[in-house]
Structures are given as structure tokens and as C-alpha cells.
Amino acid sequence: MKKLSLSTILLSASFLTIGVCLAEPLEVGADAPTVKTIDQKGNPVDLGKELGEGISLVYFYPKADTPGCTKQACNLRDAFEDVTKAGIKVFGVSADTAEDQLAFAEKFELPFTLLADKKGEVIAAFGVPANAKGFASRQSFLIKGGKVIWRDLSAKPDTQAQDAIAAAKANN
């Protein structure tokens, strides 16, 4: 029987976990997570409190100021009047620092809150898959009164706002 070195075993185990999120994304009907984090200005945000009232879109993206993520954020920015008319509060989430999120928000004049989830706690609480670098996959959740009412596990950057508005209308 061939013996494997400890380094071979550890290397093999690491390949098995790269890009794997152990939790599944939140299902429709699930309670919204009560996790806390900070926004792009470094202010504390209690998602349990924020998501407990009204309708909120929590959308996840891999990295601030990259092409797809910029398209997604700008789609929400450009349709923000319609988003707010639909009663939707918006939270964008990535594993970027607060400084990176602030630079992204300022550069593209984003009128909504970006959450800095450097430790990946919000990403994990929603069960969003992330790769080994912590980059979240592009997913969206609509929360109403503290419950998930809609989810999109392959959110489209160029129709994020329209998809969320349609889901909010369908769930009123």
C-alpha cells in the first residue's frame, strides 16, 4: 500500500473545497439572516433590522469596479427611480473592503448601500457560493418583512433592476 505525505493529503483536500460553499442559497420562504456588517462608509448595518420591514433587494457580486459588477450596479442606478417607486431598498454585497466599496459607489454615483463583507459573513449567511478568493457568485434575493420572497441564483447584470421590480410586483 502506497503512503501519502501529509502535504499531498492537504493539497488534495484544498482542491475539494475551492469554490465550494457548504450551505445552500436561502430558499423562498426562509427567514432573512440577522447578520451585521458595515457599509461603504464604515457605518454598522444590522441586516436583521434592515430586512425586517418593507421590501429589500440584497444582491451579491464578485468584485467592485469590474465589468459585470459595474453593469449590474449601473443598471440599478439607472432604474433607481423605478426601484424606489416599487418600494425596494437596495443592498449590494461583495467581499470588498469599505474603502473599495466607497470608491466604487462614488465613481459610478450609486444611490444605494454597498455592504463590505470582507470576512464573508453576509455571503455565508445567505448561502451564496464563493470561490477560494472569497468572490461571491452573482445572486439576488428579495426580502419582504424578514422573509425571502424571491431569489435569482444566476442574476443578470443588465436586467437586475427590472427583474427585482417584476418579482416585487408579483409578490405583493
C-alpha cell at 94: 461583495
Domains and CATH numbers, the chain: 30-170 (3.40.30.10)
Burial class (CB in 10 A: 0-12, 13-18, 19+), 141: buried
Is residue 21 among the annotated active site residues?
Answer: no
Three-state DSSP at 42 gives coil
Q: Which of 55, 69, 83, 98 is catalytic?
A: 69
Number of H helices and E strands in the chain, helices first, is: 7, 7
What is the rounded distance in angstroms from the CA atom of residue 45 to the CA atom of residue 76? 20
Q: Establish how many alpha carbons lie within 13 A of residue 65's alpha carbon, considering only the half-sphere containing its beta carbon.
A: 13
Q: Is 55 helix (H, G, I), strand (E, B) or coil?
A: strand
pLDDT at 1 over 80: no
| pLDDT tens sequence across 99-119 | 999 999 999 999 999 999 999
Residue 87: how many other CB atoms lie within 10 Å: 13
Confidence of residue 168 (pLDDT cuts 50, 70, 90): very high
Q: If you write DSSP's letter for every residue of 11-35 in order, what string do you get?
A: HHHHHHHTT--SSPPPPTTPBPP--
What span, in angstroms and rounded, lies between the C-alpha atoms of 129 and 136? 6
Q: What is the pLDDT of residue 4?
A: 46
Measured CA to CA, the distance from residue 57 to residue 141 in angstroms comes to 6
- Give the 3-state secondary structure of residue 148: strand
Q: What is the pLDDT of residues 5-16, one digit of tens each?
A: 444 333 333 333
Work out the mean pLDDT of the chain and round it to a whole number: 89
Q: Which residue has the higher pLDDT, 23 or 58?
A: 58
